[in-house]
Amino acid sequence: MANRTEIVKVIVSLHIFLFSFASVFAITTQSSEAQQMINDPEWVLIWSDEFDNTELDSGKWRFDIGNRNGWGNDELQYYTERDNLSLENGMLVIEARREDIEEAGRLFNYTSTRIKTEGKFSVQYGKIEARIKFPYGKGLWPAFWMLGDNFRYVGWPLCGEIDIVEFLGHDKWTVYGTAHGPDFSGSRGISGKYRLNQTELPAFTQDFYKFGIIWNEDEIIWYVNESIYHRVSRETIESRGNLWVFDRDFFIILNLAVGGRWPGYPDFDTPFPARMYVDYVRFYQIR
C-alpha cells in the first residue's frame, strides 16, 4: 500500500511539473510572439510628434474647446485652447485644474485640454502608440484614442471609436483598451484591461509606459510596452451581426477629462492641478 501511495504521489508531482512547464512555455512563447509583432523591423515611422518644440505644432494638432453638454459622458471640465497645455522637457503636458470658467451663462469648475489631428492627419491601418504617464486622483479620466474621419457626417458610434488607452484616476494599476461601433458602444463597447504586477512594476502614475494598437483590415490588437492584452477581430464583430467600422481613416485624440459616468467625480482628496505627460505619439506602417 505504501509503495502504491508513493507512486501516486510521484505521478501527481510529475503532472504538476508538466503542467507548470507547459504554462511557462506558453507564456514565454506568447511573450516572444508579441515582442516580434510589436518590434517587427518592417515597421516604418510615417508620422510622429516628439513634442520637442516650445509650442504645440499647429500643423499637426487642433483644439476641441468648451464642454459641449458634458461631451456625452456628463464630464465636468471645460476644454481651453492652449491655457491648460504646455511643452516641457520634450513632453506634452495636459493640465486639469480646479478653477471656474463661465460660458453662455453656465459656470464650469474645472478646466483641461483636448487636442486632435482631425483635418490635419488621419490613419488607416498600422501601429499607433504613445508613451504616457497618467495623473492619480478620483474622477480623473485621461485617454489616448481615435475617431473615424467621417464622424461629422455619420455621427457616433457609426463612425467607430478606438480607445487605445483609457485610465481611471482612482486605480493607478489598471488601463483599458476598447472598440466602439454601432450596437457595441458605450458600456457595451468591446473592452479589455491590463493590470500591472504591483510587486514588480511602478504604477501608471509613477512612470511612463508605452500604449499602442496594431490595426489591420481584420483585427485590432492592444498592447502595453511589449505585452499584448486585448484583440478585437472583424470576424467576431460580424458574427454578432454588427458592422466592422474600422476600415477607414481615423484621427488621433489626446485629452484629460474630469468626471464622467464611468470614472466618477472628483472629491476633496483629488489633487489639482493634475498632469498627464505625453513623451511622444508615433504612427508606423509596414514597408
Other C-beta atoms lying within 10 Å of the C-beta of residue 100: 11
* Distance, CA of 256 to CA of 276 (rounded, Å): 7
Q: What is the DSSP letter of 134?
A: P
Give DSSP secondary structure letters for 143-158.
Answer: EEEEEETTHHHH-TTT
Instruction: Give residue 55's Cα distance to chain centre.
Output: 24
Q: Which of 59, 57, 221 is nearest to 126 (CA)?
A: 221
* Distance, CA of 50 to CA of 44 (rounded, Å): 16
Residue 36 Cα distances to 28, 29, 215, 220, 233, angstroms: 12, 11, 15, 16, 20
Catalytic annotation, pick one of 75, 166, 219, 226: 166
Location of C-alpha cell 506568447: 30
Instruction: Find out whether 118 and 221 touch, Cβ atoms under 8 Å.
Output: no
Q: Among this protein's residues, is 166 annotated catalytic?
A: yes
Catalytic annotation, pick one of 75, 95, 118, 161: 161
Q: Which of 175, 198, 128 is nearest to 276 (CA)?
A: 175
Question: Exposure pattern of 188-208 as b/e (b: 16+ CB <10 Å)?
Answer: ebbbeebebeeeeeebbbeeb
Residue 111 Cα distances to 74, 77, 108, 263, angstroms: 14, 5, 8, 17
* Distance, CA of 128 to CA of 282 (rounded, Å): 6
Q: Among this protein's residues, is 161 annotated catalytic?
A: yes
Catalytic residues: 161, 166
